């Protein structure tokens, strides 16, 4: 958003949350699944990052409390390399960091909370686009703007008519 003497950035996604989700996809993926790959899909309203290999213990993440999950590194050598490159911390705080960084975005509300899904064969992170306005919301804003313009035009007409008749 541009203002008179400054600029306010309103990113769609928290950069650190996206980085963390991609790093997690790389270090926790199951490299034994030949022919599999990490997918990063952008939609109008969200970003999805999906990697081969579910939770290490096989239990679905959507049935668990994110804050109590103990990190188990499927690929410790890769994790150590990413730690040395300063892309991650050692203590397994990735999922909570994705949530906390997203919560810091301007315009964030609880409906935009990141979502995590897993099956025995894959893991998916869904980051909601904070600046996304649905068609319904856009239509409501447009209707509101049109009403304001109409009210402004009516006031201008009254003022012009008054000035014209007073001459």
Please state, in angstroms and rounded to a whole number, the distance separating the CA atoms of residues 107 and 10.
8
Predicted pLDDT of residue 89: 74
User: Residue 9: pLDDT above 80?
Assistant: no
Alpha helices in 71-134 (DSSP H): 76-84, 94-103
What confidence score (pLDDT) does residue 152 get?
Answer: 58
Q: Does domain 15-128 have CATH number 1.20.1560.10?
A: no
> Which pLDDT band, with edges at 50, 70 and 90, does 130 fall under?
very high
SS3 46: strand
pLDDT tens digits, one per residue of 92-114: 678 889 999 999 999 899 999 99
Strand order in the sheet with 115-118: 39-42, 46-52, 122-128, 115-118
DSSP string for residues in 52-83? E---TT---GGGS-GGGPPP--S-HHHHHHHH
Q: Give Cβ neighbours of residue 22 (< 8 Å, ≥ 6 apart).
A: 38, 40, 49
If DSSP codes are grouped into helix, strand and coil, which group holds residue 116? Answer: strand
Distances (CA, A) of 113 to 94, 143, 153, 158: 15, 28, 41, 48
CB–CB of 54/60 below 8 Å?
yes
As given in the structure block, the two tokens for residue 103 are 């919560």
Q: What is the pLDDT of residues 143-154, one digit of tens each?
A: 555 555 566 567
- For the chain, the domains span 15-128, 133-167
Q: Report the sign of the C-alpha dihedral through residues 12, 24, 33, 115, in that order.
A: negative
- CA dist 68 and 89 (Å) reads 17
What does pTM read for this prediction?
Answer: 0.74
Give residue 73's pLDDT.
Answer: 81
The predicted model gives 15-20 an average pLDDT of 94
């Amino acid at each position: 958003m541009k203002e008179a003497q400054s600029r306010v950035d309103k990113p769609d996604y928290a950069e650190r949350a996206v980085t963390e989700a991609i790093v997690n996809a790389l270090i926790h993926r199951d490299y034994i699944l030949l022919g599999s790959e990490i997918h990063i899909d952008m939609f109008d309203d969200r970003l999805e990052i999906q990697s081969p290999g579910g939770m290490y213990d096989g239990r679905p993440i959507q049935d668990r409390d994110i804050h109590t999950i103990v990190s188990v590194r499927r690929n410790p050598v890769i994790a150590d390399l990413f730690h040395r490159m300063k892309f991650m911390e050692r203590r397994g705080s990735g999922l909570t960091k994705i949530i906390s960084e997203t919560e810091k975005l301007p315009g964030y509300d609880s409906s935009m909370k990141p979502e995590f899904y897993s099956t025995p064969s894959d893991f998916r992170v869904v980051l909601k686009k904070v600046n996304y306005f649905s068609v319904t919301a856009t239509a409501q804003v447009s209707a509101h703007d049109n009403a304001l313009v109409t009210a402004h035009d009516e006031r201008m007409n009254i003022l012009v008519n008054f000035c014209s008749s007073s001459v």
